[in-house]
Structure 1
Amino acid sequence: MGAVICVAAGMWLHFQVKDARVLSQVPAPEQAELRRLVKDPAQDEPRLWALFQKYYDIEYMLPGLRNPDWLAFLILMLWSVPFIFILGFWGSRPLTRQFSVIARSARQVAEGDFSARALVSPGAPEELVVLAEDFNEMSSRLERLEREVKESSAMLAHELRTPLNAAMGRIQGIVDDVFPHSSDQLLLVHKQLEQINRIVGDLHLLSMARAGALSLEQERFQLAELVLERLRWVQDDLLDAGIVSEIDLDPLLEIDADRLRVGQVVTILMDNLLRYAASGKQMHVRLKVIGRNAELTIADRGPGVPEEDLPKIQDKFWRADRSRARHSGGSGLGLSIASAICVAHGGSLLVQRREGGGLETIVALPR
């Protein structure tokens, strides 16, 4: 477009210079007459032709390519071609550079390096910037999935082996008359089998959620009422741990969601706080409306999690302190399940460090 405008402006200037050069050789009286007739040729067309024949070169009147004006047009075109290439190359650099970055990162991902990220080039078009950001989000999810796949097999075997070995050892002891044949012994075996069943059930829930097939029974309910109900379930544990609760709930806030699943999320978060953040002696529960979402925040003053571990905190079987988590009975699936339930509702779960120490978990659910 710039080249077209420049060529058009050049041709206009060419005609202006040519006419000015011719008119400068015309006597003043005939010059005024020529200007008048050019503005309105119908006044005296024969006289206008006579003036043209007298002062203009015949080549400029010839039709076709023999007219010198075509030479001026060709010169302007040839003069503009280098600028078209130079400016076009300069203008397309951000575009090609961003494409090259994305292509290079895509090759890394194709070769199995899911840590590859496409940097955003300065000046790149907005569409390519969005493409790079979406690519980075995809790579991040693939990296997280790969990490989970690598860790899950070993962790799953470890999580199942512990209660399974305990149950088998207890049964073998009963068979060998090491332990008495009593209902108490069978109850101990039953507890170990319950733990295995719970882990399998949790993994099934996660698999259904990742496949987008998690069944939700939607109903409208007051979220504050559900939170208070789950608080009452753990009230005795909170008192035993010496945790002081600060509650700030919007009592009129209603959402359309699966009440049982959302309650499961609340219970998981409170259970995590009791297991890992009881030393902070504080729990802050806040519920409010943020845009189109209902946001439930559960915050503590516990030891928290290092900044570098926050991206992994929702991974399956991940634990900041494995020995402490195992001692307290955690399997490392709680936050994974809570996050999966939130995503299935079209919401999200965010865990972040809290100013002054501790963590805060934000559950965002569409109203």
Structure 2
Amino acid sequence: MSRTVRDEPATERTLRAESGELAGPASRTRGMNRLGRRFLAANLAVLGVAIMMLAIATQTMLIDNHVRTKLMWALIPAVLAAAGVAMLLARPVARDAKRICAAAMAVAAGDLSARTGVQRNDELGEAAAMFDVMVTRLGTIETERSLMLSSISHDLRTPLAALRAAVEAIRDGVAPDPDLYLAGMERQVRALSSLVDDMQLHTKIISGTIELQRTKLDLTELADEAMETVRPLAEQRRVKLLLEADRRVTIDADGPQLGRVVRNLLDNAIRHAPDDSVVLVQIHRVADVATLRVIDEGEGFPADFREHAFEPFTRADEARDLRTGTAGLGLSIAKGIVTAHQGTVSLGEGPGGIVEISLPVQIAR
């Protein structure tokens, strides 16, 4: 009679084999575990040395055999006590070690909610605590990875669908105005390029490989150039752009990178500002700190959004489409670039939406 053997992945066989090895001592709970045997061996070694020293001492001091025999018999309770102490000391250590092993195998199998549950004031407890911290960070990374993939796939779907529809319409000859369709396709391609650029810059920021080409620049002039870049969008929304600066503010910064931040903040403010409203840019300097604020007359940032506003792939509105930005990386990228300039970025209380950037006038090198 033949037996059918179900094939299983090598990874599962490896995990099962490793878990079997780790569970081996646990399955022999009625006997002494390996730590217990090592404790007992150490204690017996110490007692053995003590017996040898006692024998040498009795020979040297000419102690008769009767007294020597009594001393030897007196050591028997000590041996038994050593065995008991070894088992008592090894039991909690072995139990906690098994908990760590079980948690490690659970994590290896994909369960990132597993924790050791070990609380000790020794090195084993520190190892268990570090293991739990590691698994927590792994869970955070996995959550961010899933969110990133979901966000990117969602933001790619809209322009790709529009491009496909436009291509099919032009190919089938049903597009009433091919030039208009081509213009729409160009906008979708620019949106995709912007998304790719944001992802590339975000990767550099989180990996710490972003490079700054710092020069002396006028922050007021940089803001004015950014406003001119986004002015067509503001005119479409009938939003007025105003610049308020009490004086020229010169800082040591990377012009293109910082200009990208200001443009992104202005673009976000215009998109969330009501029609026929104002977006105001304020620039001030107090001591060695330059401050730039972008203020719109929109609804502002929701209270529950403020806590994680600068986390990647986070948006104040639930709708995720290209009309309100892509991937939710704007504020995250802004924070990364400003932080690289040794500055800070924060959200104001309102009314309206307020984003404030503070930069040192002279960056420490």
Q: Contact (CA 8 Å) 2:227, 2:241: kept in 1 or not? A: no
User: Residue 110 of structure 1 corresponds to which residue in structure 2?
Assistant: 134
The SS at the match of 1:309 is helix
> Which residue among 349, 353, 363 is the counterpart of 2:357?
363
Cα distance per residue 1:45-101 (max 9 Å; x no partner): xxxxxxxxxxxxxxxxxxxxxxxxxxxxxxxxxxxxxxxxxxxxxxxxxxx99xxx9
Residue 314 of structure 2 corresponds to residue 318 of structure 1: yes
5 Å-filtered alignment, 1:157-306, equals 157-179=153-175, 182-235=178-231, 238=234, 241=237, 243=239, 247-278=243-274, 281-306=277-302
User: Residue 345 of structure 1 corresponds to which residue in structure 2?
Assistant: 341
Distance change >3 Å, CA 156–CA 277, structure 1 → 2: same
Distance change >3 Å, CA 351–CA 146, structure 1 → 2: farther
Q: Contact (CA 8 Å) 1:279, 1:302: kept in 2 or not? A: no
Question: Offset at 1:236?
Answer: 6.1
CA distance in 2, matches of 1:233, 1:327: 19
Cα distance per residue 1:216-241 (max 9 Å; x no partner): 22211111122223234445655665
**Moved segments of 4+, more than 6 Å:** 101-105
The SS at the match of 2:348 is strand
Q: Which structure has greater helix proportion?
A: 1
CA distance in 2, matches of 1:237, 1:302: 16
Q: TM-score, normalised by structure 1?
A: 0.56
Distance change >3 Å, CA 322–CA 102, structure 1 → 2: farther
The SS at the match of 2:310 is coil
Aligned residues: 240
Cα distance per residue 1:91-126 (max 9 Å; x no partner): xxxxx99xxx99997554333278xxxxxxxxxxxx
Distance change >3 Å, CA 197–CA 223, structure 1 → 2: same
Q: TM-score, normalised by structure 2?
A: 0.56
> Which residue among 330, 333, 338 is the counterpart of 2:325?
330
5 Å-filtered alignment, 1:87-98, equals none
CA distance in 2, matches of 1:113, 1:205: 23
CA distance in 1, matches of 2:295, 2:353: 6
Q: Contact (CA 8 Å) 1:244, 1:281: kept in 2 or not? A: yes
Cα distance per residue 1:280-332 (max 9 Å; x no partner): 93444322234543121222332122222112222333222233x63734212
The SS at the match of 2:136 is coil
CA distance in 1, matches of 2:177, 2:234: 38
**RMSD over equivalenced CA pairs, Å:** 3.5
Question: Offset at 1:361?
Answer: 0.9
Q: Contact (CA 8 Å) 2:158, 2:321: kept in 1 or not? A: no
The SS at the match of 1:349 is strand
Q: Contact (CA 8 Å) 2:270, 2:296: kept in 1 or not? A: no
5 Å-filtered alignment, 1:131-146, equals 143=140
Identify unmatched segments of 5+ residues in structure 2: 1-119
Q: Contact (CA 8 Å) 1:280, 1:303: kept in 2 or not? A: no
Distance change >3 Å, CA 303–CA 329, structure 1 → 2: closer
Aligned residue identity for 2:281: V
Q: Contact (CA 8 Å) 1:307, 1:353: kept in 2 or not? A: no
CA distance in 2, matches of 1:148, 1:337: 15
Q: Contact (CA 8 Å) 2:239, 2:273: kept in 1 or not? A: no
Q: Contact (CA 8 Å) 1:301, 1:358: kept in 2 or not? A: yes
Q: Which has the larger radius of gyration?
A: 1
CA distance in 2, matches of 1:307, 1:345: 28
Identity over aligned residues, as a percent?
28
Cα distance per residue 1:233-267 (max 9 Å; x no partner): 44565566565666432423211111122111111
Q: Contact (CA 8 Å) 2:247, 2:284: kept in 1 or not? A: no
Cα distance per residue 1:132-178 (max 9 Å; x no partner): xxxxxxxxxx95x6553231111101111221122123223333444
The SS at the match of 1:278 is coil
Aligned residue identity for 1:229: E
CA distance in 2, matches of 1:107, 1:289: 47
